[in-house]
Amino acid sequence: MARIRGLTANQIAKRIYNREDNVYDKKVITKQLITSILLMYMDECRKALAEGERIEISKVGSIIPEVKVHEGNFNLPMCNKDGGNPPYTKLKITRNHLLSETMNRNLLKNIESGIYGLDKLPFSRQQMDILKKSGYISAVTEIKNGDDE
């Protein structure tokens, strides 16, 4: 499946600029101003995560930094300075309930309409096979999106 690029600050700024609620004195808030504010916001988020702070994004969820030390499971050695497996960091991302429900509702509505996945995130061939085997979608359904595009 082709890799889909994420939204950039410029693309988000364009969306915000074109929103209907951006009516402040005939769009005085320019795309350049919106882009610079977004870049500052993203930079502050990056700095906060690098310091171990949790980021709360309103109406979306949380990004939580975690520190990990390898415990020696699954035939891999424990954390050892000389032998490898140093401590490392991870990000845990959680959605809030409203976003989770909205995404799930959109997914189910799309499946009923014959769109298999979200608009810009289709099911993979493996996921389609699982859904066909479980009877969730018809076994004769052709993949119209996903791996074949």
**Cα separations (Å) of 20 from 7, 17, 27, 74, 87?**
20, 9, 10, 54, 48
pLDDT digits (tens, 9 = 90+) for 28-58: 678 899 999 999 999 999 999 999 999 999 8
In angstroms, the CA 13 to CA 133 distance is 43
Q: How many Cα atoms sit within 13 Å of 72 on the Cβ side? A: 5
pLDDT digits (tens, 9 = 90+) for 50-107: 999 999 998 899 999 999 888 777 777 778 777 777 888 999 999 999 999 999 999 9
Q: Spell out the residues 6+ positions from residue 60 whose beta carbon is closer than 8 angstroms to its own.
A: 95, 96, 99
Q: Which amino acid is at 119?
A: D
**Mean pLDDT of the 4-13 span:** 85
